[in-house]
Amino acid sequence: MSEIIKVDGLVKRYKELIAVDNFSMTVNEGEILGLLGPNGSGKSTTINCILSLLEFDKGTITIHGKEMSPKAYDLKAQIGVVPQEVSVFEELTVYENIDFFCGLYITDSEKRKKMVQEAIDFVELNEFKKFRPKKLSGGLKRRLNIACGIAHKPKIIFFDEPTVAVDPQSRNKILEGIEQLRKEGATIIYTSHYMEEVEQLADRIIIIDKGQLIAEGTVDELKSMIKKCEMIRIEAKGITDEDLDKIRALENIFTVEYDGKHLKIEAGKGNNVVEVIKVLQEKGYRMKNVYSEQPTLNDVFLELTGKELRDD
Amino acid sequence: MMFTYYLRKTLRDKAYLFWSLAFPILLMTCFNVTFMGPARGEVDFAPVESAVLFIDEDAEEKSAFAEEFESVLANLADTEAVKKSNMGYDHAIVKLISVQNREEAEKMILDKDLQVLFLVKGKEEKIDVKVGDSANTTTLMVARGIVESYRRNYMIIKDAAMTAPDKIEAVMTSLSESISVMKAKSAYIENDDGTSANVYMWYFYSTIVMGMFFNVTAGVHTVFDIQGNLSGYGMRTSVSPKKKTQILLSAFSARYVLSCAITFFALTVMNRCFDVPLGNRFPHIILFVLVGNLFSMSLGSVFGLFTKGDETQRDNKATAIVMISVILSGEMIVQLPGLFEKYCPIINRINPATIMNFAFFRLVNYPSLTGFWMNMIKIGLATVLFLTVSILKLRREKYAAL
């Protein structure tokens, strides 16, 4: 896959505050790149710099090897944006909104008509196309917001938290749609602080905090970066301190907590569940409900930064 | 495409249409009901102290135009003739004062011994009216009514088939109509400084200006539509390959065209439905509407760009300032401009609504256009200033500066 966007040594300051601090990243053609970070981490600032909405202090941004600038109209023509807020005109209908924003890119009215209809079909808003946005539910508005950003069939699409405040049904539709766009050949940059979505969608993830790149890689690569790889939960009564010490002594076991009924173990890489069960079985404990949980991206973030990723 | 959509968007903006169109018409209806009620605002007036001078005439052989005008004035100065006519007055309309020459007349005007001087140019079939400081709006309207009625009816008067009394009657009937309209609808408040304001007309003109000034919201919306740091749709347009100037022109011109159309409609309603005079200087009225709307939209752009808050908050701030300006211009308390003129004239000089009201009032009622032009220049300069500041700010934002 060829490199489509390249950000190199980006620095953006707001007076004393450094919003983006020597940040570099690349986006490959046809991939979905997840940009993860808590609110205020600098991900939106980075995106806005890439889109030339913000002037930055240092660094370079290139798209297809060409420097991005407010006047790089040929590059802008290839980009679609789905902002976090529903950014449509309340006075225009669903169809008119999509037509207006598509018209900023496509001047041929016949071609545009076809594209608008395709976008409406894509987000399944056919029966609502004569509705004004205020008559749509939150989820439908989000779909309209997406349609306005993709109707002109951009090669690069920026999604900024497109599923905020959306019901599960609409969220699934949106995620399916994004997956579909990738299949059709679009390159997608997806920012969110919903880890599950990013984990489900992204081919590659960049974790950003305080304007700095914390980690980069596939989901598995990121998870493998941290020590704690497994959380084991077992329901068993009457485990003695001596047996708990035996468990603690096992290789790759980091912490063991027990409240007389629930055993909670944090472990690293390895065949930990089997080893723990073996110890308990040898001592004749009756076990119920054995769980082994793999680490989440939040665990990755927590271990790398010392704080939770999700703040809501 | 963008122009059409911005136009459509504005046409569907109920709040905008209410404040710019429906509210002013509603207010005009209320004023009409208030001032058209039985005997309301009906005031009488003293005979207008007038003199007539015949320029480029042979003293012995006056032209028919001058001669007939002299007869008309003589009849209007004759209480019995007026009573006999259907004018509805039991006193003379004018009080003729004899003057020997122009110098004497002008001195009398300066000394406030004469209110109106009719300068009749018989060969050119033209009458100029000179009005002194002692003349109030009533005087002015009567003088203008006389001249206009005479001009309108002169062709009939020239008809040799008409008998002399019929000729005079035609003019008096015509004059009666224009005076009765004024009489029924006018209430005059004499200010302390001796000047007067026609309350009825002033309310209407002020309402037209108010409607125009509510277009500040159109200015606010325009900058929100294109600035990436102000709105999501501004961000979308900033990211698009369309040039900012092109989007700005489409958004601005769509709203400007609509704003001007709304003002013309309101003026038509005012004139046709409520019989408020517009005068006959239509090119000047067009200029007044174009400049007024451009001013309010440029003021709105400044509010959109330089104040804080979301679109609604900036809208509200702009509307509040406009409302204050309109109230100070006498929209609700008509005596205010008079009081300011006496105690703090600077307010009248700098308040845009007062400047616009005066401009329109002078345009419709005053023979001279000097005051109108002075006021239009003031508003025009302010517009240029606001537009320059806005464009510089918009251009300076090479990036949308989120």
Residues A56 and A160 in one domain: yes
Interface confidence (ipTM) of the complex:
0.78
Substitution target in A53, A96, A107 with the highest count of B β-carbons within 10 Å is A53
Nearest CA in chain B to A97: B5
Helix (H, G, I), strand (E, B) or coil at A112: helix
What mean pLDDT, rounded, does chain B reach? Answer: 79
B283 CB within 8 Å of a chain A CB: no
Nearest to A216 by CA among A72, A17, A27: A27
Which residue bears the tokens 């009816």?
Answer: B153
A48-95 pLDDT per residue, tens: 899 888 888 999 999 999 999 888 888 999 999 998 888 899 999 999
Distance from CA of B5 to the nearest CA of A (A): 7
Phi, psi (deg, nearest 5) at residue B300? -60, -40
Which amino acid is present at B339? L
**In percent, how much of chain A has pLDDT > 90?**
28
CB contact under 8 A, A92 and B243: no
Write down the pLDDT at residue A128: 92
B95 CB within 8 Å of a chain A CB: no
Q: Is the pLDDT of residue B38 over 50?
A: no
Burial class (CB in 10 A: 0-12, 13-18, 19+), B375: buried
- Can you tell me the distance from the alpha carbon of A290 to that of A275, in angstroms, rounded to the nearest whole number? 13
Q: Is the dihedral of CA A171, A173, A177, A180 positive or negative?
A: positive
Residues A215 and A281 in one domain: no
CB contact under 8 A, B235 and A105: no
Q: Spell out which residues of chain A touch residue B238, defining contact as CB-CB under 8 Å.
A: 53, 70
Q: Is the pLDDT of residue A226 over 60?
A: yes
CA distances from A136 to A128, A143, A149, B81 (A): 8, 10, 18, 74
Long-range contacts of A221-224 (CB under 8 A, 24+ apart): A222/A297, A222/A300, A223/A294, A223/A295, A223/A297, A223/A299, A223/A300, A224/A269
Residues A11 and A115 in one domain: yes
Residue A309 pLDDT level (bands cut at 50, 70, 90): low
Residues A49 and A114 in one domain: yes
B401 CB within 8 Å of a chain A CB: yes
Burial class (CB in 10 A: 0-12, 13-18, 19+), B7: middle
Domain presence at residue A143: yes
Residues A253 and A167 in one domain: no
Write down the pLDDT at residue B402: 39
Domain presence at residue A310: no
Write down the pLDDT at residue A307: 67
Q: Is the pLDDT of residue B159 over 70?
A: no
Any residues with CB less than 8 A from the CB of B290 and at least 6 apart, and which?
B260
CB contact under 8 A, A104 and B399: no
Average pLDDT estimate for B134-150: 75
Phi, psi (deg, nearest 5) at residue A287? -110, 140
Domain presence at residue A130: yes
Residue B197 pLDDT level (bands cut at 50, 70, 90): very low
Write down the pLDDT at residue B330: 80
- Taking only residues 204 to 233 of chain B, the set having a beta carbon closer than 8 angstroms to any beta carbon of chain A reads 228-229, 231-233
Write down the pLDDT at residue B194: 38
Q: Which two tokens stand for residue A122?
A: 């894509």
Write down the pLDDT at residue A175: 87
Residues A38 and A76 in one domain: yes
Task: Please state the separation of Cα B9 from the chain's center in Å.
Answer: 30
B235-275 pLDDT per residue, tens: 888 888 888 888 888 999 999 999 999 999 999 998 888 87
A113 CB within 8 Å of a chain B CB: no
Query: CATH number, domain at A55?
Result: 3.40.50.300
Which of A208, A223, A238 is the C-terminal boundary of a domain? A223
Q: Is the pLDDT of residue B397 over 70?
A: no
Residues A36 and A121 in one domain: yes
Domain presence at residue A180: yes
Substitution target in B11, B18, B399 with the highest count of A β-carbons within 10 Å is B399
B396 CB within 8 Å of a chain A CB: no
Write down the pLDDT at residue B170: 63
Listed ranges A145-159, A219-233, B359-373; the one with the highest mean pLDDT: A145-159
Domain presence at residue A307: no
- Can you tell me the distance from the alpha carbon of A133 to that of A131, in angstroms, rounded to the nearest whole number? 6
B174-188 pLDDT per residue, tens: 665 555 444 433 333
- Can you tell me the distance from the alpha carbon of A308 to that of A61, in angstroms, rounded to the nearest whole number? 30
Write down the pLDDT at residue B184: 35
Domain presence at residue A308: no
Q: Spell out which residues of chain A touch residue B402, defining contact as CB-CB under 8 Å.
A: 48, 53-54
**In percent, how much of chain B has pLDDT > 70?**
80
More confident residue, A1 or A236: A236
Q: What is the DSSP letter of B214?
A: T
Write down the pLDDT at residue B27: 87
Write down the pLDDT at residue A311: 47
Domain presence at residue A312: no
Q: Spell out which residues of chain B touch residue A51, defining contact as CB-CB under 8 Å.
A: 239
Strand duo A262-267 + A230-236: pairing? antiparallel
Nearest CA in chain A to B401: A54
Residues A130 and A185 in one domain: yes
Q: Spell out which residues of chain A touch residue B255, defining contact as CB-CB under 8 Å.
A: none
Nearest neighbour of A81 by CB, restricted to B12, B231, B239: B239
Any residues with CB less than 8 A from the CB of A254 and at least 6 apart, and which?
A227, A228, A266, A267, A268
Listed ranges B131-145, B163-177, B185-199, B215-229; the one with the highest mean pLDDT: B215-229
Which of A169, A196, A223 is the C-terminal boundary of a domain? A223
Spatial contact of A141 and A94, defined as CB atoms under 8 Å apart: no
Q: Is the pLDDT of residue B208 over 70?
A: yes
A183-206 pLDDT per residue, tens: 888 999 998 877 888 888 889 999
Residues A161 and A92 in one domain: yes
- Can you tell me the distance from the alpha carbon of B152 to that of B169, in angstroms, rounded to the nearest whole number? 13
Any residues with CB less than 8 A from the CB of A299 and at least 6 apart, and which?
A223, A226, A228
Nearest neighbour of B241 by CB, restricted to A73, A85, A92: A73
What mean pLDDT, rounded, does chain A reach? Answer: 87
Spatial contact of A146 and A177, defined as CB atoms under 8 Å apart: yes
Write down the pLDDT at residue A84: 85
Residues A16 and A133 in one domain: yes
Any residues with CB less than 8 A from the CB of A291 and at least 6 apart, and which?
A231, A232, A233, A234
Q: Is the dihedral of CA B72, B78, B79, B85 positive or negative?
A: negative
Phi, psi (deg, nearest 5) at residue A40? 85, 10
* Count of C-beta atoms within a 10 Å radius of residue A278: 11
Q: Render the burial of B388-400: b for 16+ CB within 10 Å, e for the rest.
A: eebeebbeebebb
Q: What is the DSSP string of B160-174?
A: TTS-HHHHHHHHHHH
CB contact under 8 A, A91 and B236: no
A202-218 pLDDT per residue, tens: 899 998 888 899 888 88
Domain presence at residue A301: no
* Angle at A290 (CA atoms; ends A286, A293), nearest 5 degrees: 160
A278-290 pLDDT per residue, tens: 888 888 888 888 8
Spatial contact of A300 and A222, defined as CB atoms under 8 Å apart: yes
B307-325 pLDDT per residue, tens: 888 888 898 888 889 889 9
Residues A219 and A234 in one domain: no
Structural domain of A259: 230-294
Q: Which two tokens stand for residue A252?
A: 């790759």
Identify the weakest region by mean pLDDT among A27-31, A109-113, A151-155, B89-93. Answer: B89-93
Substitution target in A51, A71, A90 with the highest count of B β-carbons within 10 Å is A51
Spatial contact of A282 and A247, defined as CB atoms under 8 Å apart: no
Q: Render the burial of A145-172: b for 16+ CB within 10 Å, e for the rest.
A: bbbbbbbbbbbbbbbbbbbbebeeebbe
A131 CB within 8 Å of a chain B CB: no
Any residues with CB less than 8 A from the CB of A70 and at least 6 apart, and which?
A52, B238, B398, B399
Task: Please state the separation of Cα B240 from the chain's center in Å.
Answer: 44
What stretch of H or E contains A216? strand A212-217
Residues A263 and A187 in one domain: no
A205 forms beta bridges with A34, A217
Which of A192, A223, A254 is the C-terminal boundary of a domain? A223
How many structural domains are present in chain A? 2
Nearest neighbour of B233 by CB, restricted to A54, A74, A88: A88
Query: Strand runs (DSSP E) across A104-154, as ranges?
Result: none
A12 forms beta bridges with A20
Nearest CA in chain A to B402: A54
The model's pTM? 0.70
A291 CB within 8 Å of a chain B CB: no
Substitution target in B236, B243, B310, B395 with the highest count of A β-carbons within 10 Å is B236
Spatial contact of A230 and A292, defined as CB atoms under 8 Å apart: yes
What stretch of H or E contains A10? strand A3-14
CB contact under 8 A, B228 and A109: no
Q: Is the pLDDT of residue A45 over 50?
A: yes
Write down the pLDDT at residue B172: 62
Nearest to B148 by CA among B277, B337, B256: B277
Q: Is the pLDDT of residue B15 over 70?
A: yes
- The helix/strand count (H/E) of chain A reads as 11, 14
Q: What is the DSSP letter of A85?
A: S
